Structure 1
Amino acid sequence: MDFRKIELIGFKSFADKQEIRFDNGVTCIVGPNGCGKSNVADAVKWVLGEQSAKTLRGTNMQDVIFSGTQNRKSLSYCEVSLTFDNSNKIFKDIDYDEVVFTRKLFRSGESEYYVNKKPSRLRDIIDLLHECGISKEGYTVIGQGKVSEILSSKPEDRRAIFEEAVGIAKTKAKRLETSRKLDRTRDNIVRIADITTELERQLEPLSKQAEKARAYRALSDELKYHEVNAYLYRRDNAASVKSRINLKIDELKEQLEARNLELNEAVKAYNAHQREISEADDYIRQLNAEHVEKVQAYERQSGEAKVYDEKINFFRAEIKRLEGEISEAEGKISELGSKIREKNEYAETCGKEIEKIENRSADIRAELLKVLSEMNEGEKMAEDAQNAILTSVENLADIKQAIGALDAEKNVMTERQRETLEKVKTLSDELSLLYAEKAAAENETSALEKTVQTIKDDVKDKQADIESINYYINDVTNKLYALNSDISALEANRRMYGNLRDSFDGFQYAVKKLLTAAKSDDEIGKRVKGVVANVIRTDKKYDVAIETCLGGAVQNVVTATPDDARYLIQYLKRTEGGRVTFLPVSSMKPRYETSETRRALSERGALGLANELVSYDKYYDNVVRYLLGNTLIAEDIDSAVKIAEKYRFAFKIVTLDGDVIAS
């Protein structure tokens, strides 16, 4: 590079125009102290874009203007020009063999920049010089102590020197500036999207108002026309027509008022529709929650119904078993009754035989008594006979014979009495055994009757339980029918709102068109990941706060890469689909919370960070942090104000009611 000369006018100690040429062979500038050697180096740095007065050894930038002496007045401006040889096209964008960079400063603080005497910007001059490896931050001008600083610098600092020498600094500066422009552009796009959304929302009522206004204008023109005609007609014709014209004017005024009323009604209806849409969204969320609750209740009650069905089947089996036992018990009772009847008949028969035996025993006893009396009489007769023996030996044989007959008869009677007593004893034993069997049968019958009564009571209890269970089953069935009807209604509502969602109602025209195309076109569908509204989910409590944080970004379309976004933009341009804001996941710069934000979470009224109060796929983390990062959700405006004042408005705060305190 060939640096030819420098021209100075009014710069520091150079009051007059000075020209210093740097021909081949110029190595240094020498001179006594205070002659202005350092001012030449300061002039070069000043033209290269130096903005720090301290670097130029001054307190403010006006100190570089010649301030005057005792014999000479100060100047009102200063000007420095650097001339370069461009025959080798070191400045590719300038088609001149010589390039002159000029900077001019006035005492008012205004600066002017020129390239070849043509007004330019400081940025343009810096960019042109960067192409040649020249900049105010680099080592084009090395001041006092700079060499030792370079020699003792760290490797990464030396790398910066080399980058500056090979011209990478310009690319880095452009990259930094481009990143800033991109950030500003994104912010502008978000603001434009918000403005567009608001304008689109106002478009329909404004179009209605415009239509009303056009009608009003037409009616006004017509009114003026009729007024003029009426005036002319009144002037040219009889005054009797005036009343009819006045009536016509009144009618037109009434129509105008009616149109104004219709306009007001239309505005009110529009506001009402907006409220209904908001209420419908709330109702959808409520229906979804109720649907989940109903399904869970249905599943619980289905499980309970199955348990009760098992209980019913068990009780029915128990009833069948008890009925079998009852029938067996009734059979046993009938069998025992027949046995009892047989025993009673046998007892009656035995009683009759006992009566006969007792009667016979009484007869035998009477005969025995008779025999005993006869025996007593015989003994008496024997005594008489013995007495007679004494008196008559002749009658002795007859008496002995009579005594033998009586003894034989006595023995027969004794044997018969013994047999009768044994038979009576046997009959008594049989009668006692029969009475015992009768008592046992009666006890068994009583026990069976008690068992039967217990079984009947159990059957009644089981029947009561069955009736209660049937009642509960009917209640559960009715509830199931009600739940099924509720579920059917919820399903219908879900399908309706699903159809609304699938048709993308509520989205901007361009977003709706793009999402509709994504469903039918696979090439577009694989590039569209969805809209922010579908990517993020949150609790109903935080809906207003999160919607406020997102603003118009809820309708931004998410893509995987910037290439996908460019493809979709080209598609919208081809189809005249309008404008859409895209958020490529790979190029989004997340906004991370600061230490102040983390400390603020412990403050009273702080509910959490916005990006942590929503649920989403981790794939979209960059997008969510870009939209909601470093934002605190507070309970109310009072808590938000206290937190913001304590941390000096270091981060954005949004309340549950949608109030915003910006950082």
Structure 2
Amino acid sequence: MYLRQIELENFKSFGGKVTIPLMEGYMAITGPNGSGKSNIGDAIMFVLGPKSPKAVRAGRITDLIFSGGASKSRAKSMTVSLVFDNKDRILPWNDDTVRLTRYVKLSDNGEDYTSYFYINDQKSTLGEFDSLLTKARISADGYNLVQQGDVTHIVQMSNLERRRIIDGISGIASFDADIAKAQGEKKEATDNLNLIDVLREDKERQLKSLEKDKEQAQIYLETKNSLDVAKAQLTVRQRDKEVSTLENLTQYTDKLRGELEVLKKEKETVRNQHAENEQAIIAKEAEIEAKAGPEYRKVKDDLENTKIKLATEKDRKETSEADIRNQNEFKAGFLESIEENRNLYRTLSESLNDLKIQHDAAKEEFDNAKKEEAQISEETTRHGGELTELQKKIVTLDKDIDSAIIIDQDARTAEAAAKIVLDHAETGKADAEEALETAKFEMKDADQNLKEVQNEVGPDNTEEISKRILALKQEEAQLEDKESQLRSALDRANNEYNKLSAEKRASDSVNGAGEAVSRILALKNTGQIAGIRGTVAELAKVEPGYETALGVAAGGKMQAVVVETDAVAAQCIQYLKSNGLSRVVFLPLNKMMPGKPRAKAIMVLKRTEGYATDFLDFAPEYTNVFWYVFQDTLVVKSLDTAREIMGGIRIVTREGELIEASGAMAGGTIRKNTIAKFGPTAQGALDEAAQNVRKASEALETVREMLRDKRDAIRAADDEMRRIAGSDNASRDKLAAAKASFEQTKRNLKTAEDNLTRAVKELETAKSDLVQKTAAAQTTGQNLENLRNERTAARERMAVIAPADLQERIQAVRNKVFECSQTVNDLASQIGGAKAELSGLDKQK
């Protein structure tokens, strides 16, 4: 492989397209200073992708784009391609020629840029460039290109740094990186495999669980079929029971119909007697009328009419008395308010009269001042010129101001009146709100009273209560049925729990699980000591049919406790010593040694059913543990087979006879319940049974509580029925009176709500009117102020041009006129306010 050609376009000093062919072997490029020799090396470095632009003698990548020189414009992009001869495939690319191209394009702002990479004109990335070049041991930051000063730098650097350069050039560094990457991928793959194992084991457990569910489902289907048959039988029995009940009801109905016919006849007899009595009464009245004359009929009619009138007048009297009481209370408050208004009216009238007197006096004094001012004005007019014009203007302004004062006073008076109306409207709204609250309180009190009377009297809904009692009794019967079923379920759950509890005690007794082992396993369950796996018996399962053989062969070793390390075993032993507990055998997984079968066992293996460990299912990590327990114990079908091969090997028969390697034989009758068993303890099933007992007990207690509540409801309904049946007419009258009072307070509440709505509207109208009056007053006041300012300016000008003695007289009379005007205006404003208040009081009349 060698660099065959360099292609440039707008790179540094090379404007336009330039192709530089290179031959295999040694080749030199010569030229004068500044001709671009070094730029060719920069072009090669640029394609190889240095980490810093400084490696190609540039501050930024964009500095590499052809600047245009003195006569051309700057280029918008640049392209550099390195063409390699790759016939020897040193570059891992399946092509004889490999062209690596890097293209840089300026953005519109002229500062930023976009960089593109191509391999044989196919779009690529900088990462793919690096990977391809690294495989060929080419690097922009290495020493594939030796530039000025590089040799001196290599000679002066340390051995370690020089070794790194050699490793990089030779590819060792790349291989080391590949190895590190491969190791990382290996670790990741190992972690994934471990995760897959965990997931697989979880799926296997789920599969076993589903198989158990399948078995349970089959049992369920069989049970359901049995249940369907039982339900069908129950339905038949219920039908027969209902048929029998229907027959009894039919007989009872026939009996009631017979009694009803008898009662109808008795009713007809009573009705005939009543008709006869009515006729007798009519005849007797006719007889009395014949003897007493027509006056009797008249007296009788008058008596009936009088009774009706008396009842009507009594009701009207009670209503009138209530109205009179309300009117008297209102009258008292109204009279008190009238008296207050009268006193206020008198006070305001007196104040108004005094104000009028003061106003007349001030007006007279004001008129005198105005006359004096007029005399001075005539004297001023005689002087002629500007003074005369000013005097005329002041006279005109005085008239305008007088008119403006009257308008302003009217506006102020109207504003004051609007404020008074607003105050009265706010007071009316407050009174209406208070009346509404009172009506609400009375309504609430009447409603409460009606409810109390209704509760006391009770509704006349005997038919509804009867239906409710019947429904409650039906629900009671259903709950009693549920209670019976739950009692049966609880009994079954208790029996199951007792059975499992007895089996657990027997299993513990057989397996020899003493207190010491139980305490060690308790440490495992509570997490006080980590690393305890369990007993040998718990860590394996036995194929069916070999339970007796393996239980005898393992013996007491079944209660040995498996732990993870000898440190855990030492910690457990220290715990046993500290608590005075007996000895326990511990099997640390990190120290258990493997073993090999003896030659004799291997020789006779084919004549047996297999090693004892062949019939156990346990995790591979426990292989050394179960070798310790069984070693090369062989399992045979019968004692005869065992006798044929015994001697130098340990043998156990499927029925439990044990022959040691020494030749010792043990056998006899074995009770199944005395043999130690492999497999998980029965504690899980026992806990589940206890949970079932708790659930059944809680469900039963819930139903019993519901049954108690239902019976309480039945008793309450019976009491209500008896109370309604025993209510009298006085209670009914009391209820009617409470209803009438409630309806009256309801009407009063409606009236109060209407009054409040009207008061709110009046208040809003008063507010709007006040806003308008205030705006008008402000406008008239501003106009008056403008006129006064204009008059003041005219007077000030007149004071400047008038003679000295005339100026003094003008100023004196002007002050007097101003003071009198202020007094008159103030009094007029007070009179207006008093009139407005009197107007408000007149409206209240």
After TM superposition, the score normalised by the length of structure 1 is: 0.29
> Relative to total residues, which structure has the larger helix share, 1 or 2?
2
After TM superposition, the score normalised by the length of structure 2 is: 0.24
Choose between structure 1 and 2 for higher RCO, CA contacts under 8 A separated by at least 6 residues: 2
